[in-house]
Amino acid sequence: MAGMRVRKGDTVKVIAGEDKGAIGEVIAVLPETGKVKVSAVNIVKRHVPDRYNARTGTQTKGGMVSSEAWIDASNVQLVVRDEHNNRVVTRVGSERTEATKTRPDGSTYSTSRGVRIARKTGKEIR
């Protein structure tokens, strides 16, 4: 699979599935399988038993634990702010920009770096 369009920390909107329309932050990415975890989206409950740690002598309480499950990256779309500070969904593009870098000895040199661009606004995604 090619590189992921979304990264950890990006704000995304779910465009398909049970949680369609929900907006959240990407908390984890699995590029090998094309999956992402989005905060407060695709919540599942797991039955966890009580655990005892013999080394420290502590006991962890079990029960029903809610957590986010993985969803396919194709089911989310990046959300950015436009010039009026409104949230808009956008596709992700890329372009090369000139950058000046500094070597450990203090000298500088010019190079290019790849940046992600929001197609709707034309601005760099940070």
Q: In tens digits, what is the pLDDT along the chain, a chain of 126 residues?
A: 467 889 999 999 999 999 999 999 999 999 999 999 999 999 999 999 999 999 999 999 999 999 999 999 999 999 999 999 999 999 999 999 999 999 999 999 999 999 999 999 999 998
CA distances for 114 relative to 43, 84, 103, angstroms: 34, 27, 19
Q: How many domains does the chain have?
A: 1
Report if residue 101 sits inside a domain: no
pLDDT value at position 34? 95
Q: How many residues does the chain have?
A: 126
pLDDT value at position 2? 61
pLDDT value at position 33? 94
**Sign of the torsion formed by the C-alpha atoms of 49, 47, 32 and 26:** negative
Report if residue 57 sits inside a domain: yes
Report if residue 105 sits inside a domain: no
State the residue range of the domain holding 30: 11-92
Distance CA 38, CA 26 (A): 4
Structure tokens given for 1: 């699979």
Burial of 94 (0-12, 13-18, 19+ CB in 10 A): exposed
